[in-house]
A and B are shown apart, each in its own frame.
Chain A
């Protein structure tokens, strides 16, 4: 389902606006590259994310990449300990004049984050070794699987078949994962398919539901409340806690939807359910929660 292809390596060094830093409370700092969604900012987020995965900052707990910003969660005592040690060791003078003995842990992490962002964008580094995954998501459109397909078609002035054709012809990019486990925020919906959210959100949208909300399309990984128009459903599980990579999709992935019939849906759903059951047994460990 997921095939790996090398990313096109030609990526020029561009002049980018200076990133901004914001504390997200007293245990996280956000570095923001742009105030709007765009390819340049998205690339910088992914480059910094890849850099931090291989070279985590002192005291860093984890990084959360988003559309145009990345947030680092940190352990304040560990960051303070680093800042104190760096000052003693004269690291401040050694590393580009950077001053780590800041007033707050957030200042220290911010300074380190700016350095990492600059290093991650040095020409060639961000493209090296990066791979592009293409993921095909089978979808059974319409009927009980996509109860809003007719409404979307009517809104867009298209036939239901046209909606399915346009939705499966387009190539989408996963910009970020968030909201709930495995939920992909994707760009690339053909403008002709943009449709407003439902006036009253559904109390329960089934796992695998494929929807359109404004200019976005996405797949609900878990049964949750949801306000998007549902045009179909995939039998694939987008969140698999037993897996090495629990999220089927990752930022940067290219996604295509493929129309399948009810029989294929049933067969794929059966296989996915078997995998899920195996995982539930393992995760639950018998009677303990």
Chain B
């Protein structure tokens, strides 16, 4: 069991998502940075879509009532055990029963991911542990919450025992290896930093935008505004205007959809986005680059780069191979 001493900002359980209910308006939810979730779970021997704690800006303080194997991915948070640290990013570490894990702010990126071997044994309304509080599907962490853990996999148990033996009297001990940064953490979105390249495929209404707006979308950078949450990342930059006014019939939208309301300022939809919408879709973020948007803090900038559907498919296939390799490599290390 893990006790929540201090919840951080909007920390909540998220898994791979809630599927099959978009038809009745329930968003898919799930970790905003799906790659971070997958990497974190693999690092502690969990199924790739198991529930983790997703943090925003600043992480929670957690007291462990039992020995555990933990991994942190996504935005790298300042992390300590009791007063000792820093803890490694994207590497599994052992936490002794009675120790307190304190997760602070993110040096870059926006959302951290905390995986614990065995996963969290929380209820799964409509088939998922992903918190979507507006509809009463779970709620964010609160001080005093107690989180039950599931049983770690055999290989995770082996690694946990090995790390505990090597820890001596210490409250924690890390494995000497980590996952590659491109899978487990954002490439480097920081407020005020260089724009992050985000690859997009064309949206259906792209051709209906004024030629100058089509150029502007790919020419300049768009700044992330403070109005960015799990529903969508609102951007500000050169306004994107339709060549002619357009009335669209509402239909499905998806995480990654770049929609443009009448004010011309684009919004990249994220995990908790509404299921249907009627704004023109100028582009869609390639699935492999959506984590970069989810990790873009207010004040950082995005530079969109157009790619074709074939290229998007190729990138997706390569990402799948990378994760398969990571899973195999981790399994081998855990079994040592």
Contacts and interface: CB of A to CB of B under 8 A. Distances in A.
Are A and B bound to each other? yes
Interface string A223-267: 010000000000000010110001100100000000000000000
Contact of B254 (A25, A178, A179): A25
Interface residues of B, number: 56
Contacts of B317: 76-77, 80
Interface string B14-42: 00000111111110000000000000000
A216 B274 CA distance: 19
A71 B309 contact: no
Contact of B123 (A73, A185, A276, A284): A284
A186 to B, nearest CB: 13
Contacts of B25: 177-183, 221, 239, 247
Nearest to B121: A288
A149 interface: no
Given A104-B313, A246-B21, A66 B125 contact: no
A246 B23 contact: no
A178 B146 contact: no
B245 interface: no
Contact of A222 (B135, B145, B250, B253): B135
Contact of A283 (B138, B141, B256): B138
Tell which of A28, A106, A279 has the most Cβ of chain B within 10 Å.
Answer: A28
A62 B252 CA distance: 12
B252 A241 contact: no
Given A25-B285, A104-B310, A287-B146, A176 B19 contact: no
A127 interface: no
A200 interface: no
A65 interface: yes
A192 interface: no
Given A73-B254, A77-B320, A183-B25, A26 B138 contact: no
A283 B313 contact: no
3 A-B pairs with the lowest CB-CB distances in the bound complex, closest first: A178-B276, A25-B284, A71-B252
Given A76-B287, A77-B316, 4 more contacts: A66-B250, A282-B123, A284-B139, A288-B120
Interface of A: 22-28, 30, 32, 35-37, 49, 61-69, 71, 73, 76-77, 80, 103-107, 176-183, 185, 221-222, 224, 239, 241-242, 246-247, 250, 276, 279-280, 282-285, 287-289
14 contacts: A24-B253, A30-B251, A64-B22, A67-B249, A73-B19, A77-B317, A178-B275, A180-B274, A181-B25, A182-B25, A183-B25, A246-B126, A288-B120, A289-B13
Interface of B: 12-13, 19-26, 120-123, 125-126, 131, 134-142, 144-148, 201, 204, 249-254, 256-257, 274-276, 281, 284-287, 309-310, 312-313, 316-317, 320
